[in-house]
Structure 1
Amino acid sequence: MTEREADYKQTEQYSRKRRSGARRRQEGVPFNEDFKQQLLPTRLGPALFWSVLLSLLSVGNPFLTSFATNIQSQNLYAGFAMQAGQSPYGDFFGTNGVLYYLIAFVGSFLGSSIGLAILQFVALLIAGVFFYKIVAYFSQSQETASNFSHWFYLFILALNFGGLYASIFALPFLLTSIWFLIRYFEKAVKDEAFILYGIDAALVFLIDPKSAVLWLVAFLVLLVYNAQHRQMARGFYQLLASLFGFLLIVYSVGYYTFVEQILGMAIQQTFFYNIRLNFGYEGILWTAGLVLGVLVVTGFLKHILMTIASLGQKQHTYIKVVVLLGFLVQTIFIIGNPNFDLNQLTVLFPYGFVMAVAHMKVQPSESEELEDMEGEEPPVVSYLKTSLFLPILACLVIPIQPIYTYFLQADVHQERSQIAQYIRENSEATDTIYAWDDSAQVYLQSERLAAATIITAEPYLNTEENQTSVTYDLNKNQASYIVVRNGLVMLEAVKANLEANYSKVDLGTSQLSLYQKN
């Protein structure tokens, strides 16, 4: 036998061993071939209808931009600034993930934010489809899945009127990963699919970093699951596949931060404001009370208790533990963050609704035969009834923002438009301005960039570091105009610089004041 033939024979033996090992690994893990038979056809109607409606009501719609809240206006400004050549974290302060700002950049092409509304439609549609799949699987009822879908979107509308929040764009990947975990615990997923699971984790991490709690919790539950089933080697293989998918996206998107030289600032701004916990800040009792009120009104508090009580049934135990722990950990992070806003509760929706349907005994147990259920329609479950009709109160929140905006803040919006028009007519396109305001609308309407990294006086000036940053930027006196919202507390150093280097322009406004550089 020649040396070449010997090498070839050795290679063949090695290859056969690998194929044999792979077969043994798959044979040792029974694959649930009947899982697909338990799935009901997905109705696109609810997801399509609500995704269109919510996107039409988005502040990305140019006719509704004036409805934008402070955070929404800053998100719109991000797209405008990036179109002008600026970078997030470096040129303007940002607490969302870098991929979210790239989405804002793409959605702001052609000088309009309508692209963001279209991208939001896609995100909501995908989220709705997988939400429907999850509810239909647990309830085995298309009517129940449709009913839950309506309330899912109503809650999004109530807490996110106008949309464009990072948490909305993270929803599709949260729900696809929960659906993935459901299938895995039902033995209907092969290990190689964990690459897609890791990709989902990376996409959420790069859009809304705090939403990545799901994967941290699931990692612990999967560790326990694999240990109890004596398949730690398989679990290690799944971990490697997940890491491969995660790093594939992180390195691809992270390349942008290397090119723009903003990696360090991106890590500091996103993690410092999203991951840190501070239970000693002023107003934490108000935040905790508000969160508790939302949990009661949405019915989530009841479903938490019901899920805990149902753990003894030993049905869907692992996925129940994942969503229960994910819900509780997310709630702790929300309450412990001084920069609380109602839209942050959106990340709780996937967990809350899964708990609402997972603890219901609408499926046959393992000891029952599926044939016994043939010809019987499973009961239709109304989310409103199971939540004691409390979600009706949540719907009352929906009209509050537009009413508040147009009737109680009409004068402020009118004066912003008046000042923005004056700035646009009396400055060059390359001039910068600053708005000591609780909105970024002046920048958007005047089409002028901010002269400081932190573009508004709220909500990010609650740290000494940020106060120093905005004072340093404004002391450069690069702002041709400074707009001041009367009634907002101003830093003494900023106030002194304003009095020394700027003169007030009399436009007859009472809610805002305009100052021009001397």
Structure 2
Amino acid sequence: MHDINEQQNLEIPEMKTEISEANVEVSEQEGTQRFRKKTSPVPLFKVLSWSILVSLFSVVNPLLTNLATNLQSQNLYAGWAMAQGQTIYSHIYGTSGLLYYLINWAGSIAFGQILFLIFQVLALVLAGVYLFKTISYITTNSSLAQNLLPLFYLLTATLGFGGLYSSIFVFPFVFWGMSFLMRYVQNAVKDEVFILYGAVGALSFLVEPMLSIVFYTLAGLVLFVYNIASKRKARGLYQCLAVLLGFSLLFYPLGYYTVWNGSFGVAISQVTYAIDAFKLTGSQLPSNALYYGLLTIGLGFVTAFVLGFQFKKEAAVVRLMRILSLFGFLTVFIGALGLPEQGAYQLLPALPFVIILFALWFNKNGETSVENEGRRRRERHKTSVWNRYFSKQVFLPLVGMIYLIGFPFVQEYILSNGVSGERAIAARYIRENSSAKDTIYAWDNTASLYQQSQRLSAVSILTPSLYTGTDENQIYLRNTLNQVEPKFILVNNHIQLLSDVDTKISKNYKETNLKLSHFKLYQLQ
């Protein structure tokens, strides 16, 4: 009798464990079904159309190449130079991830970098797909999600006019990560799948390190708090280990490329440039505060951010996305304030967070969408979305978008009229008076001279007006230019020369007989 009681006591915990596991499986199945039920079919035609339209205005387009920012021109150069046998991080200074530069290289080996443009279309399509799923789930409003897609693409096209920024290529990974977090909160994800989450995080880091660090750090903190509040401490530890495993499975094999060519330490230093160059006490702070402040106010980012603090009784998944987006936008904005390089593209990393805040703002009254709703209701809702964004903000977003698109044209054809033409003349002269083995240097505000002249740069920092926000990089540029002897040095008259570089040019170079008003072209004696 005693043995029978002991056997029954042993069987009870086993039965409880089986019941608990069964409940978890049922909960996960129910969560998966609930998640699929709340997400509507993706409007692929709209997503593809907008992705192509945005990419057509890329600086890869020969008609728009002269409008490229310094960073865009260096991204174009990186792919072209890698196709010539150069190595990223060693011969070319770059702050984006290795995978981004491999995509850049693959897109530059044929058809004049048109493939790079196609890769951008693919990235924008995937970003739109996961964005639609994310918004339609947290708002239970597919109509709102469809109306926000054009806004996302418009903001991408204006903040990142000309495209090719690594932030654009990382958007699919960020939106997928948001979708993953929502599925987890709804018990639609098993803990083992966090291995995939870590692997995607590795890919994201290898495309755009800084935005990936911001997103996955904040997501980790939000999940940590959520697991504690939900009494899932043990699961949280298991998930952390799974993420690290998934990250390692992809990061180390792909990152070994930099170890193999001896540039691992240099690569880490370059991709973390934004951290090293960040200063809130620098001379650029007032200018950046005014510039980014006006942009964020004009584009409605500040309104969405402020309204994002209107917490109310809402589902856990909505609360999680709200907190993640608020801190994400704030982090990116503060980061942009402290960087020496100014440009609207610095706000591109904030777009995934802002678009979620827009969704919560436009859906704050709890509008819902029914698949078979009448046409009048859809049109009324569509009008209300655009009405809130444009007319309710005195059409400031429209003014901001027109400025962001129009400024490159004004800068090129009015404020800097003749500069590109003179640069092309200098490039032709260099090409005709040098061999393919000769190197040059552009003391300029763009790296376009290299591709125009078909000559490689003598220094990995391609221009003095980008990536020189740290003392280390300034010293490197000065010392390297003193050590190497480029065949030609093109000097923009509006960019001050360093004293020792000026001294070297005076001793070892002679000015060519080109009649240029914006530049001086020096040739090695």
**Worse overlay, 257-266 or 284-293:** 284-293
Taking the aligned partners of 2:106 and 2:55, their CA distance within structure 1 comes to 16
What does residue 231 of structure 1 align with? Answer: 232
Aligned residue for 1:268?
269
Moved more, 453-462 or 25-34: 25-34
Q: Per-residue deviation at 1:363?
A: 5.2
> What displacement does 1:277 show?
3.1
| Partner of residue 81, structure 2 | 81
Q: CA RMSD in A?
A: 2.6
**Change in 2 beyond 3 A, CA 1:431/1:21:** farther
Q: How does 1:83-98 map to 2 (within 5 A)?
A: 83-98=83-98
Measured against aligned partners, the alpha-carbon deviations of 1:113-150 in whole angstroms (never above 9, x if no partner) come to 21211111111111111112222223444432222111
Shift of 1:77: 0.8
Matched, 1:171 2:171: yes
Match of 1:214 in 2: 215
What's the counterpart of residue 248 of structure 1? 249
Alignment correspondent of 2:500: 493
Q: Secondary structure at the match of 1:509?
A: coil
Deviations 1:235-255 (A, max 9, x none): 122212222221122112201
Q: Is the 8 A contact 1:138 1:362 kept in 2?
A: no
Q: Which residue of 1 aligns with 2:10?
A: none
Q: Could you say what secondary structure the match of 2:311 adopts?
A: helix
1:395 to 385, 391, 401: 401
Q: Which residue of 2 aligns with 1:147?
A: 147
Q: Which residue of 2 aligns with 1:412?
A: 419
Percent identity over the alignment is: 37
Q: Residue 19 and residue 313 in structure 1: after superposition, are their counterparts in 2 closer, same or farther (change >3 A)?
A: closer
Deviation sequence 1:400-459 (CA, Å, 0-9, x none): 212322333231100111111111111110100111111111101011001112111212
Q: 5+ residue gaps in structure 2?
A: 1-14
The one-letter code sitting in structure 1 at the alignment partner of 2:104 is A
Aligned twin of 1:40 = 40
Query: 1:26-37, aligned counterparts within 5 Å?
Result: 26=25, 31-32=30-31, 33-37=33-37
Contact 2:194 2:242 in 1 (8 A): yes
- State the partner residue of 2:333: 331
Counting matched residue pairs gives 499
Give the stretch that moved more between structures: 404-413 or 249-258.
404-413
Q: Give, in whole Å, the separation in 1 of the partners of 2:483 and 2:111.
A: 29
The range that moved more, 377-386 or 332-341, is 377-386
Alpha-carbon distance, 1:385 to partner: 2.3
The question of whether the paired residues in 1 share the 8 Å contact of 2:27 and 2:187 is answered with no
Counterpart-to-counterpart distance in 1, 2:117 and 2:235? 42
* Deviation of the 1:20 alpha carbon: 8.7
Name the counterpart of 1:135. Answer: 135
CA distance in structure 1 between the partners assigned to 2:471 and 2:136 by the alignment: 50
Extract unaligned runs of 5+ from structure 1: 1-15
- Within 1, Cα distance between the matches of 2:459 and 2:119? 29
**SS class of match (2:488):** strand
Look up the match of 1:108: 108
Q: Residue 322 of structure 2 corresponds to which residue in structure 1?
A: 320
1:144-199 CA distance string (max 9 Å, x none)? 22221111111111111111011111111111111111222222222222222212
Contact persistence 1:429–1:448 (CA under 8 A): yes
CA distance in 1, matches of 2:304, 2:161: 25
In structure 1, the residue corresponding to 2:521 is in which secondary structure? Answer: strand
Distance 2:459 2:18 in 1: 60
| Paired position in structure 1 for 2:513 | 506
Superposed displacement of residue 326, structure 1: 1.5
Letter matched to residue 407 of structure 2: I
Residue aligned with 1:515, SS: strand
- Amino acid of the structure 1 residue aligned with 2:167: S
Alpha-carbon contact 1:327-1:348 (below 8 Å) kept: yes
Q: 2:222 and 2:65 mapped to 1: Cα distance?
A: 43
CA pair 469-362 structure 1, distance change in 2 beyond 3 A: same
AA matched with 1:461 = T
Question: 1:293: which partner in 2?
Answer: 294
Deviation at 1:234, TM superposition (A): 1.4
Partner of 2:343: 341
Q: Deviations over 1:290-322 (max 9, x none)?
A: 222222122221122222112454562122111
